[in-house]
Copies of this chain bind each other. A is one copy, B any other.
Amino acid sequence: MRILVVNVNTTRAMTEGIAHAARQAASAGTEIIGLTPEFGAESCEGNVESYLAALGVMDAVLKYPGQFDAVIQAGYGEHGREGLQELLDVPVVDITEAGAALALLLGRRFSVVTTLDRTVPLIEDRLLLAGLDAHCVSVRASGMAVLELEENPDAAVAAIVEQAAEAVEQDRAETIVLGCGGMADLGEIIRRRCAVPVVDGVAAAVRLAESLVGLGLSTSKVRTYAPPRQKRLSGWPFGQSAAADAD
Q: Which of A's residues lie within 8 Å of B, judged by CB?
A: 10, 25, 27, 38-43, 45-52, 54-55, 58, 79-80, 82-83, 85-87, 91, 93, 97-98, 101-102, 104-108, 117-118, 120-121, 125, 128-135, 145, 168, 172, 174-175, 194-197, 199, 203-204, 207-208, 210-212, 214-215, 217-226, 228-229, 231-236, 242, 246
Determine the residue in chain B with the shortest Cβ distance to A52: B236
Chain B nearest Cβ from A179, distance in angstroms: 16
A223 pairs with B86, CB closer than 8 A: no
Known: A101-B105, A105-B91, A215-B207. A46 touches B226 (CB 8 A): yes
Q: Which residues of B contact A121 (CB under 8 A)?
A: 108, 223-224
Q: A146 CA to B43 CA in the complex, in Å?
A: 36
Q: A102 CA to B105 CA in the complex, in Å?
A: 12
The 10 sampled A-B contact pairs (Cβ below 8 Å) are A39-B233, A45-B231, A47-B225, A51-B54, A54-B79, A106-B219, A120-B223, A132-B134, A133-B134, A168-B222
B48 pairs with A83, CB closer than 8 A: yes
Option from B108, B172, B215 in Cβ contact (under 8 Å) with A25: B215
A223 pairs with B174, CB closer than 8 A: yes
A235 pairs with B38, CB closer than 8 A: yes
Q: A137 CA to B127 CA in the complex, in Å?
A: 18
Query: What are the 10 tightest A-B residue pairs by CB atom distance, in nearest-first order?
Result: A39-B235, A107-B220, A207-B211, A131-B135, A131-B134, A174-B220, A47-B82, A108-B224, A47-B83, A42-B232
